[in-house]
Amino acid sequence: MTHLIINPRSGSGLKRSALAEFRAAMQAQGRSMIEYRTTGPADATRYAASVRDEADLIVSWGGDGTAREIASGLVGSSVPLLACPVGTENLLAKELRIPAHPQRLAEIVAGGCTVECDLGIVNGQDFLLIMGIGFDGEVVRRLATVRRGHITHLSYFWPIWRTFWEHDYPRLRIIADGEEVFDDFGMAFVGNISRYAVGLRICRDADYNDGLLDLVVFSCQEQTALVLHAAWALLRRHPLKGNVIYRQFRHVRIETDRPTVSQADGDVGPDCPLDISVHPGKLRLLVPPPRVTHGLWPWRGELPL
């Protein structure tokens, strides 16, 4: 039985017709679904955990935060998760090449394949995609204090603008797999996928199934340095340019000299200090079938996911 978990607060609120189309496409395949609407934080985790022994597929109708909550309830089980791109950024769906069209989503249910995915743990809480420590966490915290429902990319404008001018960069002490790799002012990211907001590839070498997490640290204490880091990232020259550390690890500890907030998968995460590690379990994801190339390079065959 397929279980459809719907987050009514995800995204811009313009996807109701898409949900009806997805239902119709599933019914045309002769597939029935049990639908569940979340009512608050961690509700998706609770529901996913309660049905993991009976479901053959769980479909996430929400954003990256909803996918993370469901993943927390499914990790270690054989039940796959299909993450539909219904949120604001939809980083996981973009990484997996999952389309937004309802009919194509139903086709993935019918003919997709499964892959395994790592999860991270931060201070005992699961995360799936990417964490930001410092500037990034403060932006998400500011947005969360004023959010009352659906959001768009424009919702981030004032939190980013105010944080840009008002943020006091913390001093970070970072120990990765027992080695101190940074002790200075800046901001950091920990990623399980390469994608970040607005198409940036902050953790550009991250692989969601390599058993490792990627650490990126930007040395930064003022607005000028932040602008330069952003420019190199937009030009896809990071981490070849600028004062940047890029490492892969299984465990990292991040300490700060002042109270510092983090964000995890687009939601407010725990405050520092942070202990971050790779989850011992794996998550199964339902993804589109591999694409076959033709034309100039036909001998290359299937493209990897």
- Asked if 76 and 281 count as a contact pair (C-beta separation under 8 A), the reply is yes
pTM summary value: 0.84
Task: Give all strands (DSSP E) within the chain, no chain letters.
Answer: 2-6, 33-37, 57-62, 81-85, 113-117, 120-122, 125-127, 130-133, 171-176, 179-191, 213-219, 244-249, 251-256, 262-264, 267-268, 274-278, 283-287
Binning pLDDT at 50, 70 and 90, where does residue 227 land? Answer: low
The two three-digit tokens of residue 258, written as one number:
């002042």
Mean pLDDT in the chain? 85
- Asked if 165 and 256 count as a contact pair (C-beta separation under 8 A), the reply is no
293: which residues sit within 8 A by CB, 6+ positions away?
300, 301, 302, 303
For 2-119+282-287, which CATH class?
alpha beta
Domain 125-278: which topology? Tumour Suppressor Smad4 (2.60.200)
- Asked if 56 and 136 count as a contact pair (C-beta separation under 8 A), the reply is no
The two three-digit tokens of residue 155, written as one number:
């919702």
Most confident of 11-15, 149-153, 204-208, 248-252: 248-252
- Asked if 183 and 196 count as a contact pair (C-beta separation under 8 A), the reply is no
Cβ-based neighbour number of residue 271 at 10 Å: 15
Q: Give yes or no for residue 72 having a pLDDT over 50.
A: yes
The percent of residues in the chain predicted with pLDDT above 70, rounded, is 79
- Domain ranges within the chain, ordered by starting residue: 2-119+282-287, 125-278
CA-closest candidate to residue 137, choices 10, 267, 275: 267
CA distance 125 to 121: 5
CA-closest candidate to residue 129, choices 154, 93, 98, 92: 92
Partners of 115 in beta bridges: 285
Q: Do domains 2-119+282-287 and 125-278 have the same CATH topology?
A: no
Binning pLDDT at 50, 70 and 90, where does residue 302 land? Answer: very low
CA distance 63 to 45: 14
CA-closest candidate to residue 238, choices 209, 201, 292, 186: 201
The two three-digit tokens of residue 153, written as one number:
């990319």
CA-closest candidate to residue 257, choices 180, 152, 174: 174
Residue range 240-252: average pLDDT? 84
Q: Give yes or no for residue 8 having a pLDDT over 60.
A: yes
CA distance 75 to 117: 9
Among positive and negative, which fits the CA dihedral 96, 238, 218, 151? Answer: negative
> Which range is least confidently modeled, 33-37, 152-156, 183-187, 191-195?
152-156
Radius of gyration over every alpha carbon of the chain, rounded to an integer in angstroms: 20
pLDDT tens digit sequence for 126-177: 999 999 998 888 888 777 676 655 656 566 566 666 776 777 889 999 999 9
